[in-house]
Amino acid sequence: MTHTRYAFIKANWHSDIVDQALAGFLELIPAAEVDVFDVPGAFEMPLLARDLAKTGKYGAVAAAALVVDGGIYRHDFVAQAVVSGLMQAGMETGVPVLSVSLTPHHYQETDHHNEIFRSHFVQKGREAAEAALKITETRRKAFG
């Protein structure tokens, strides 16, 4: 039996938090079935997601980032562009592209808040893995 491969893209900004999504993802999908790709930030994820999906190697592509306020750009605009771009990548290629791109209302870089976000990203990574497994199985049943 051939195993489905999955791609996991993660933004390097706030990697101590974002990397936890990959940890959660790998709790459900074996590392041997996941190719991991790093990008500088969230804005670079949609293009890579589209290009990876186009290869036909992956049953699904997941992308993880933490987009926070406090920078020179409006974080809500960046987050909207990222999520829209990820959806567009999936629609253009016919490969599910899953978002673990989170945008808190007010990010405070304290140990307490960072620990909350680390735990939350583990959970979101698990949820992305569950979605990836479910959608690839559904598509396999529907389309062979």
3-state DSSP call for residue 140? helix
Q: Is 39 annotated as a binding residue?
A: no
93 Cβ partners below 8 Å, 6+ apart? 50, 53, 54
Q: Is 120 annotated as a binding residue?
A: no
Q: Is 77 annotated as a binding residue?
A: no
Q: Say if strands 34-39 and 60-66 run parallel, antiparallel, or are unpaired.
A: unpaired
* 5 included as an active-site residue: no
CA proximity to 6, closest of 29, 30, 34 = 34
Q: Is 15 annotated as a binding residue?
A: no
Instruction: Give the active site residue among 50, 74, 139, 140.
Output: 74
Q: Is 112 annotated as a binding residue?
A: no
Which two structure tokens, joined as six digits, stand for 31?
């590392």
Q: Is 137 annotated as a binding residue?
A: no
Q: Is 99 annotated as a binding residue?
A: yes
Q: Are 4 and 53 in contact (CB under 8 A)?
A: no
d(CA 4, CA 76): 34
Q: Is 26 annotated as a binding residue?
A: no
Q: Are 109 and 73 in contact (CB under 8 A)?
A: no
Question: Binding site for (2S)-2-hydroxy-3-oxobutyl phosphate: which residues?
Answer: 113
Question: Binding site for 5-amino-6-(D-ribitylamino)uracil: which residues?
Answer: 13, 42-44, 66-68, 99
Q: Just list the catalytic residues.
A: 74
